[in-house]
Each structure stands twice: as structure tokens, then as C-alpha cells.
Structure 1
């Protein structure tokens, strides 16, 4: 449903002129938006209904502010545009700020979000921050941020778009490391099984620290932390678009070891892929095209790195035996 149709239905709902069919249509739009968009940590249907009621009350309040004698002097067309704009702002502002109106008794409640193999989730935090959680990841945070800092516990891979709040720094805890930000966007890869933790920064500034040592990262840079040696290395990002592409489900690899590529594809596309021989150490340059199946991608990978792809009952095997082996 287009935005203008949503606005029209909401106005009818607020005016009390909506038909039963229109009320059902508006309710259906709300539920579909909730399911397809952000992840909301509702405990039960009653809490969700209460949240929805607050959104509409906020919109109604803004609508009434527009509908004053002074505003009626505005030309009809301009009035409609102004009302529509404020209603839309009310919708999205209400959604973004929703958790700030939760009952104080829930302030300390912890929320845990886990993604399975091949699963991805988009999460809205109480402060308006957004997190794109990749496969096999684990995120724990408070339902409401009431302390001096906004702390979360994280493992896996995620893209963070953090709302600015200078008075309350946002801190990501990943095992023995912490990433401290005020308002910025970045990607962290911190799987427990991986030897390295990697942070790639797009906007803002972050402080990455561990074991008493700290390094600052600026936009266009990445930091690689070796968990075995405790070494932190800051490098220039080869291309920031690769980071936002991953956030949007597009995967590109530039001179990446086949073993790392296979692990990444296996995790994000829920595929079982085995490696044999020296293939794992060869370098791959390519990407997963939109709509491409895992098998199609692996056939391309095998051709590029001069390997042989074998399809088995439970997945695939990449082994030596290419044209030049």
C-alpha cells in the first residue's frame, strides 16, 4: 500500500469515518509492516496492542495541532500536503521512539536476539539505533537504556547504525574487546570460532579497546584484532560499498581465501560445503549475484580458483582436480 493510501486511512481512523473494511485494511498494513520490517521485542499481544495505541495517540496529537483555526487559513492543497507530511512524520517518529514510552518496570529487562544459520534480522533499539544481524549471531541488550552508557553484548556479524547521544555513549562488548561510539555506522565481525575480530567504520569515530590497549578508528578504516596475539592493526578499507552491500545481503570477495569465502557462504546461505586439498588457500575474486543459487556460485568459484566441484547428497565438495591440477 502506498504512503498516500496509508495517510488517508489513518486520517479516517482518527476522524472516526473509517468503515469496518478500512479499519481492517489499516490493521493489516500495520501487522505486515511489523512482520516485514523491524524486530520488536513484544512479550504478548496485549503489549503490542498497547504500543500500537500509543503510536496512534501520538499521531492524533500531531494531527490536532495542525487542525487549528490558524491552519485553516492555508490553501486547501497546502493544508492537505502539510497534514499528510505531519501524519507521516508522526507514524515513523512514533515507531522509532516507541520503546521510550515503555513502563519503567520493564527498563531493566534484558532482550536476547539470536539468528540461525542462513537467517538475518533487522532490529530497532530503544534509542532509535538500527542493527542488521547476520547469520549465527547473538545479541543481548536492555529493553530500555537508562544507565549512563548504552551497553550491548554481541557475537557474530552485524552492521550498526547508532543514534547520536553524546551524553550516553554506545558500547559494544565482544568477548574481551569493547567498541565505544557516540553516533556512527560500522560493521563488526566477531565470531567465537574466528581468530580475528574485525571492525569496519563508515561514519563517525570509534574507540576500540582490549586488555588495556586502545586504538581510534576513523571513517574509511578498519581494525583487525588478533585474539591469539592481542595485536590490533588499523588498515584502510578497500571499498566502503562492500560493507553496505553485505548489510543489504550482497556478498563480494576481493582476493579472499577460498576457506573464508566458503565459511561465509555456508553460514549466510545455510549450505553444507566441504573443502579438500590445497583449494582452501587459493584466492578468490568475485561475488554472489542477486538470485544466484549456491550451486551456481560454487561452479563459478571452482572455475576461478581452478578447482573441481562435486555435488553430494548433503551439499558440495570443492577439491583439487581443475584444469591445471
Structure 2
């Protein structure tokens, strides 16, 4: 099967979000004018089911055309109806693995990071944090309304996934699908070669590679402090799992490290504000004499606040992105 270029995948996503510019629409139209590939991938349904859906869609377009239009000009409109239906179905086949991000999803949101910029932080609807690196794009829904939390990554990013056992977090990137429940890891899929580099810092990650006609050709499970490297070939000899040795390099430019050793609470509060995009309200210096030792790395805002509050015997309330600490203190 001919691979869909990454820029075309990106334009499809923008088309779905209704944000294509005229120049981008021209590029997408030009790509559709190319000859059709000999094979298509399909996902989640049998070939017969998809054939049936295609036939039904085209027949519906034809029937609607003949019932709604006068005799004059029917043939021209019929050709247009069938062509439009076929074009829409072609888009569905190509875009389905990339655009079907989330059951019950709303319009997608795009986050981009360009080479040379500082790392771009993205806080997802479930409060997971993604640090985009290199020339990368992240596509995600405004809300995770279905049974999974699904996003698409083009390029490289460091992920800190909020824990939710009932709703797995799924990342689609190139030919790979990465699934987690709650963990932190760095994922990079080269858009040119398709090579994957996965560095798991905490938790456990499952990676699956697509094959023709089926969702999965091969699965890999990578545990904490391990790295997975695959080449374009999925043969076992092309897969390497090794210890993570570059944590500092992987987290460079991010606020991932939240390990505090006898740190003033006011400094910790400032780090919270920088990492989670929150503000502490009504604080007048009650905890100025408090120093805390705690490793809050890869913890959600809620968990981090609970641990911080316990350490200074305080309580907290969150409203929108504003936090208020009350009570407690250090003497």
C-alpha cells in the first residue's frame, strides 16, 4: 500500500476541524487527483462490512438524485453525486485510522511545535501533560467523551498521562499505536523512515504496529526505565529494548522533574503554577517557614496538591485554575 504523506494526514485533520486555508485545500485536492492505490487498509470492521457501507452510500446518492431532480440534467447530476460519494468514501478509508480519534468526540484541536523553539507544553482535557519537541504536531479532541482517550502525534513528545484505569490513553503515530493507563514516557516516530523510539520513564506502555488488513502486526510491552527502538522492518532482529540512559536529555526544556529536597513551600507553589498553569489565591505567607521533601514527579495536579497539603497539615480547594490553601503551617 502506498503510504499517505504526513502533510496530507495533517491536512485531513485540519479539514475535519474546518480550519483548512485555501492554499491547503488546493494541496489536498491535488493529492486526491492522483491515481488510486491498489490496496487500502481497513480498521475495526471486516472487508465485507465496509464494502456494504460503500455500496449503500453510493446507492443512496443515486436514488436521492433521481427522486429529487427533474428529467433534464439528471445524468450530469448523477455523475456528480456518485463522484462526490466516492470521494467522500475515499477520504473515509484513508483518514479513518487518523481521524477516528475518540468516540463521541468534538472538533479536534491542533498543537504544533517548530524546530528552534522552546519545548511546547500542552495540557489535555484529562489534565495529562504533553511536551512537544522538534517539528511536531499533536491532534486531540476538546473533550475525551468516549471509552478511550485518543490523540495523534506527528514527531516527538514527552507524555505525562493522568491515571484512569477505566479509560486507556491511546496515541496514534505513523504505523504505531501506543496505549497506556497512566505513566510517563518519551515517544518519537520518524516521519520519513517510520522508525520508533520509545523511552518509558514510569509505568508500562504497550506498542502495536499495523499490518495490511488488520490493526496489529506485532505488539511490544515496555516497562519503566526501558527503551524500545524499531526499524521500518518489523522482524524481531530489528527491535531493540534497552535501559533508559538519557533521562536528563529526554526531559530537557520541560518541567517534568518535580523532586523536591527540603524545598521552601513557596518555591514549590511557584513550580506548581508554572507546570500546571494554575494560580494560588489568597496566600499571605502562612507557609513561609515550611520546607518540604517530596518526589512529585509524574503526579497529577490533584495528587500533588494532596501530598503537599498533607506535608504542611493544610487543606486546599480548586476552582477553575485557582487554588486556595487554608490552615496548617510550620512552627
Range of TM-score over shorter length = 0.3 to 0.5
Return the structure number with greater relative CO, CA threshold 8 A, min gap 6.
Answer: 2
Q: Quick check: which one's helix share is greater?
A: 1
Please give the TM-score of this superposition, normalised by the length of structure 1.
0.42
